[in-house]
Amino acid sequence: MQELASNLMNITTLLGASGGESLFTYQESSGGPGWLGLIPVLPAIAALICLLLLFLARKGMASGKSRGPAYLVLGFLALSFILTLSGFLMWNGQGKPAWIVTLFDWINITWNSGDGEQSLIANFGFYFDGLSFLWMLFVTFLGSMICLYASEYMSGDKGYARFFAAFGLFVASMSCLVLGDNLVMLYLGWEGVGLCSYMLIGYFYTKPEAVAAAKKAFIVNRIGDLGLALGLYLIYTTFGTVQYDELFRAVAERTDAAGSPLDFATMWQSWAIPCLLMIGAFGKSAQFPLYVWLPDAMEGPTPVSALIHAATMVTAGVYMIARMFPLFLMDPDLHALHAVAWIGTFTALLAATIGMAQFDIKRIMAYSTVSQLGYMFAGLGFLTTTGGAYHVFTHAFFKATLFLACGAVMHGFAGQLDLRKLSGLWSQPGWRITSVAMLVGCINLAGLPLTAGYFSKDMILAEAFYTPDSLIHFSGLMGWILLFTAGLTAYYTFRVFFRVFVGPEHYEPGDEAYDHDSDETGEESHHPVEEHGDHHADHFHPHPPGWAINLVLSVLAIGSILAAIPYFVSDGNDKSKGWVGDMLYSSSAFYKSPAGHADKHGNETAVLVPADPVVLPASFADEPAAAGAAKGKVPAADAWPVRDQVEAGSILGMDPHKAMYYISAVFGLIGILIAAYLHGPKGPAGLFIGNRTQAATSRADALLPKLGPLPRWAQNKWYVDEFYEATIRLPLWVFANIFHAIDKLLIDGALVDGISSLPKAFARSIRPLQSGVLHSYAAGMAAGLGIILLVVWVFSL
């Protein structure tokens, strides 16, 4: 067991000591069962074996075409899922201490031994608590499902083993990220997933666009990673530790690791650390400034987009903020959380508008992911980690379903993704399961009442209004923007559904080479196109997905429906938050919102009082705990800001929690109706299913000119890419060339070569003195003599 954890003093949870609730319940930790450490290691081993297989295949010792690697990775992923599940069941419990399992010492440096000893300790260890179990459950589950899906989807591709090696490595690094017990492990996972997404996006490495997309993804992630890295350094410099348990205890007691008190109110780090971490999160979870890489990442094979760019990697940012929530709360004015909320909302709106105007269904799904991530961040911004986490949970399921469905369509129609060239799949033979899965995904995404997506989105929207403006300014306004975006989301989701699945049967196959470049052996020639006959549709017969894809689609569809259950099931003490709330309760992400009024289940309003009088700055002690509902905030000049009970916000005068069910449902339905009106088949009969005759309605096309330039702008992604190109890439390129010129001409040319040619120049200049004429030498001698005499004379005066 990890001796560091055991010798941690077992402080009584703050709840008990002071009656009031501390900012957050500090979760002290204890050693967990060793085998839990296998969870991240198993996929890594799978990846290594795949590499060996690939290496042997290259050497001709193993057949390159077998599906061995896929099943190998699938087996290991399933095993790690089972381990996670059993670990969770063993651990499950409110307020139980987090488990720490350390494999080995990684970075372990101590100096100035004796007094003032300092140390930087980052072990290869794992931290199991509610948050990490929640995340690991759906990461490993979705990982194995999508791996099964990919085993069939990727069959026939030459780089099969390479794909699954990267797949295994990805899940391994994701688990390191989620389970890591210190910030450096988080950083390890963070960059690890960045690398794997680089390898997987760039899977079709012969295609320049794929390589460019992969490079773009890695570099934009790297920009985010810099923010995270600097945040990490600042945390270490302030608290003296990067281990979670020490860090959270320090933040709870408002001291640094050595116990000397830190006055969060006045420290500049209290806002600097969360802002830096936020930048890291935005880089990884594709939020506003750094989201440009996600839509381009669709170049990769669909299982990659499903797993990485829908369910797991992009949620890493949300996980990190949830994990580091106590640090976000250090800042009395919550600057960082304001930024998170605002950027989340803005990204949601922006991505939704772009998503509406795209024609490539995978790109639409990508923008919808960016938009839903905006929701999750907004949820975090409104101080509801539970809402955010639950939306991550449900979104993982239904977005994976959607992506896989689109993948199946693309697989079947030889790479065709343009919704204008596909319609009426519902009634096609063999496509029924895909269409149903698509439908389930769409209703969840659109937030149709009683679906999982509805409940999770509702939680966030409710919190938007529930959190008073005094805590998060303009949270109400943001709530309304999010509601409007929910409508847009419903619209573009069903736009895809109606255009692709409903309506008359009409399809054109994409160019085969687009998707899986089946033949990589040497010659570059296109796959013999005649066989697929892309000119006249009758020759081309779409081949419906196989058993594996259908199985996975159905499982995930059911999963996304069942994802609604955790909203109701809850055995924790705060019934309103559901199972996800219980999970987060026993983790660092738990946060008791100060806003309160008679709670849904009637338990008394939670009053938040700074917990530990001992630590309190003197000036605070004499002021009675703010019993009354003092409006606004106590000026946080010197004392730890009193989060006394503030009046909860309301929506249109009603209690947000109850009212939100109806309001968000209304917005969702309006969106769907508009989509049906514009893109659905004519007449109510066609609305549903099976009407083959009605051609795709042209109402949408009729509406376009009336809207002016807006649709064109939206289609071109509001020219954000071009803007970045002009303001960042171009200047950098120009600077690079300038530096190159400076280096070659100025430093190397002028300075170095210049100086080295000085002696030769000087020699050339005095050569004429050697004129060969006797008299000039004599004159020189005489002049020299004269000068010497003169000098002697002058100095002798």
Partner 1 sequence: MGVLAVILWSLILIPAAASVLIAMRTEKSAQTVAMISSLIGVVLALVAAAQFDWSNSGAMQLGTESGIPLIPALGVTLSTGVDAIALWLIILAAFLQPLMVWGSSTAINENKRSYYGWLTALFPAMVGVFVARDLIFFYACFELTLVPMYVLISSFGSTNRKKAATKFFLYTFTGSIIALAGLVYVAVFNLNLDPATFAGAGEWNFDIAVLQQAAQAMPLGQQGLVLFAMMAGFAVKVPLFPVHTWLPLAHTEAPTAGSVILAGVLLKLGTYAILRFVVPFAPDAVLEWAWLIAVFAIVGIVYAGLICWVQRDVKKLVAYSSVSHLGFCILGLFALNMTGLQGSVLYMINHGLSTGALFFCIGMMYERYHTRSFNDLGGLARKMPIWAFFMGFFTMASVGLPGLNGFVSEFLCLIGTFQSGADGIDGIGGTFGPLGPWYAAIAGSGMIVAAIYLLFMMGKLVFGPFREPDGYEHHGPLPEDLSPREIGICVALAVPCLVLGLYPKLITDSLEAPLQQTIDIYTGEDPALADANNPMTVALVPVDRTPSVLFEEATR
Partner 2 sequence: MTIASLAQDTIAAGMPLAELYHYLFVAGVLFGLGVIGFLARRNLIIMFLCTEMMFQAAGITLIAFSKYHFNPDGEVFVIFVLTIAAAEAALALALVVLLFRRKETLDASAWAMLKG
Partner 3 sequence: MDLLINPVILYVGLAIGALGVLLALPRERVNPQLIGLILAAGGFGAVIIALALRGLDAAGLPNPHYYIFAPIAILSAIRVVTHQQPVYSALYFILTILASSALYLLMGAEFMAFALIIIYAGAILITYLFVIMLATQAPSETEVGALSPYDALAREPLWATIMGFAIVAVLTGMIAQGLPEIRPAGNETDQQMLLAELPGKVLDDLDAKRVFREMERPETEAIGDLYTIDAASRTMTLAVTPEAAGDLLERAEAEDRQVAKLLIGDGTTLADLRAASGAGGSVRLAVAPEVRVTNLDTVGWSLIAGHPLALEIAGVILLMAMLGAVVLARKQIEIGEDEKLARAAELGIHTGPTDQMDSVSGGGASS
Alpha-carbon dihedral of residues 103, 104, 107, 109, nearest 10 degrees? Answer: 130
Inter-CA distances, 367 with 139, 209, 396, 399, Å: 21, 19, 15, 11
C-alpha to C-alpha distance for 544 and 256, rounded to whole angstroms: 60
* Dihedral (CA of 517, 521, 522, 523) sign: negative
C-alpha to C-alpha distance for 323 and 24, rounded to whole angstroms: 12
Q: Pick from partner 1, partner 2, partner 3, none: which does 793 bind, CB < 5 to 8 A by kind?
A: partner 3
C-alpha to C-alpha distance for 28 and 677, rounded to whole angstroms: 56
Give the nearer residue to partner 3 in terms of CB position, either 750 or 790. 790
Q: Is 783 among the residues that bind partner 3 (CB under 8 A)?
A: yes
Residue identified by tokens 């934009």 is 220
Q: Pick from partner 3, partner 1, partner 2, none: which does 790 bind, CB < 5 to 8 A by kind?
A: partner 3
Q: Is 111 among the residues that bind partner 1 (CB under 8 A)?
A: yes
Give the nearer residue to partner 1 in terms of CB position, either 234 or 410. 234
For 156, half-sphere exposure in the C-beta direction (CA atoms, 13 angstrom radius) is: 10
Residue identified by tokens 């800001």 is 641
Contact with partner 1 (CB under 8 A) among 109, 652, 766, 773? 109
Give the nearer residue to partner 2 in terms of CB position, either 621 or 763. 763
Q: Pick from partner 3, partner 1, partner 2, none: which does 7 bind, CB < 5 to 8 A by kind?
A: none
98-111 and 29-31 strand pairing = parallel
Per CB under 8 A, residues contacting partner 2 are 767-775, 778-779, 782
C-alpha to C-alpha distance for 608 and 626, rounded to whole angstroms: 9
Q: How far is the CB of 771 from partner 3 (least distance, A)?
A: 14
Concatenating the DSSP letter of every residue in 605-654 gives PPPB--S-GGGS-HHHHTSPP--S--SS----SSSPP----EEPP-BTTB
Binding window for partner 3 (CB under 8 A); candidates: 85-93, 325-333, 566-574, 776-784: 776-784
Give the nearer residue to partner 2 in terms of CB position, either 536 or 775. 775
Give the nearer residue to partner 1 in terms of CB position, either 218 or 328. 218
Compute the residue count for the chain: 797
C-alpha to C-alpha distance for 518 and 520, rounded to whole angstroms: 6
CB 362 within 8 A of CB 298: yes
C-alpha to C-alpha distance for 167 and 612, rounded to whole angstroms: 47
Give the nearer residue to partner 2 in terms of CB position, either 635 or 786. 786
Give the nearer residue to partner 1 in terms of CB position, either 182 or 423. 182
C-alpha to C-alpha distance for 386 and 584, rounded to whole angstroms: 7
Q: Is 789 among the residues that bind partner 3 (CB under 8 A)?
A: yes
Binding window for partner 1 (CB under 8 A); candidates: 364-372, 641-649, 671-679, 733-741: 733-741
Q: Pick from partner 2, partner 1, partner 3, none: which does 524 bind, CB < 5 to 8 A by kind?
A: partner 1
C-alpha to C-alpha distance for 172 and 286, rounded to whole angstroms: 21
Q: Pick from partner 3, partner 1, partner 2, none: which does 222 bind, CB < 5 to 8 A by kind?
A: partner 1
Contact with partner 3 (CB under 8 A) among 23, 639, 775, 777? 775
CB 418 within 8 A of CB 514: no
Give the nearer residue to partner 3 in terms of CB position, either 104 or 793. 793
CB 261 within 8 A of CB 255: yes
Q: Is 211 among the residues that bind partner 1 (CB under 8 A)?
A: yes
Q: Pick from partner 1, partner 2, partner 3, none: which does 229 bind, CB < 5 to 8 A by kind?
A: partner 1
Give the nearer residue to partner 1 in terms of CB position, either 3 or 604. 3
Q: Is 772 among the residues that bind partner 3 (CB under 8 A)?
A: no
Q: Is 267 among the residues that bind partner 1 (CB under 8 A)?
A: yes
Q: Pick from partner 3, partner 2, partner 1, none: which does 240 bind, CB < 5 to 8 A by kind?
A: partner 1
Q: Pick from partner 1, partner 3, partner 2, none: which does 236 bind, CB < 5 to 8 A by kind?
A: partner 1
Q: How far is the CB of 761 from partner 3 (least distance, A)?
A: 30
Point out which residues bind partner 3 (CB under 8 A): 775, 779, 782-783, 785-786, 789-790, 792-793, 796
